[in-house]
Amino acid sequence: LGADLSSMIHSLGIPRDNTRHRVLDTFQSPWAETSRSEVEPTFFIPD
């Protein structure tokens, strides 16, 4: 029967409302348990 995915979706950072937000660029780990801290995403610093 699967499971209620709302907490999993929330832990991913997917917004509850209708706004869209990319989540894979700041993806910490496949499991919430190993996502204790945020990770540094790609960024660019002009010279």
Partner 1 sequence: TSTERYYLVFTEWVRLLQRVTSDDKIIFVFIKQLMDKGVLSDSDNFIGFVKAALELSVYSFKESDPTGEVFTAIDALSKLLIKLFILQDFAGYSRQEYLNTVFSIILLVFSNDHEEDEATFNERPYFRLLSNFLCEWATLRGHNFIKVADQKTRKELLSFDAEFYNIFASYLHSFQPFAFPGFSFAWISLLSHRMFLPVMLRLPQKAGWEKLMLLLIDLLKFLNQYTIKGKISDAVSVVYKGTLRIFLGISNDVPQFLIENHYELMNNLPISYFQLKNVILSAIPLKMLVPNPFDSDLALENITECQNPPVVFYDPVSDIQALKKPVDNYLRIPSNSLLRTIINGLYLTEYDIKGGVGFDMLTTNNKLIRAIVLHVAVEAGLENGRTSSNAVFNTKSSYYQLLFDLIHDGTIELKFQVIQVMIEQLRYPNIHTRWFIYVLRDMFVTEAWEEQRTEVQEIILRSLLERVIVHNPHTWGVSVLFTQLLNSDEVNLLELDFINNIPEIKHMFVQL
Partner 2 sequence: SNKAFKNPLFKKELKYWLASKKPLMQPYKEMPPKMVSQLESSLLNCPDSLDADSPYLYQVPLSNPHPTSIFFPSEPIRFTYPYEVIKSNQGNLNPNDKTHASHQSVEDIYSRTSLAKIFSKFDLDTLFFIFYHYQGTYDQFLAARELSQNRHWLFNKVDSCWYFREIEKLPPTINMSNTIPNNKREDSNSDEEESWRYFDYKKSWLARRCGPDFVYHEEGFEKL
Q: CA torsion sign, 23 to 28 to 31 to 35?
A: negative
Query: Is 12 one of the binding residues for partner 2 (CB under 8 A)?
Result: no
CA–CA distance, 6 with 10 (Å, rounded to integer): 6
Query: Is 25 one of the binding residues for partner 1 (CB under 8 A)?
Result: yes
CA–CA distance, 19 with 8 (Å, rounded to integer): 18
Query: Is 7 one of the binding residues for partner 1 (CB under 8 A)?
Result: no
Query: Is 39 one of the binding residues for partner 2 (CB under 8 A)?
Result: yes
Residues that bind partner 1 (CB under 8 A): 1-5, 8-9, 11-12, 14, 20-32, 34, 39, 41-44, 47
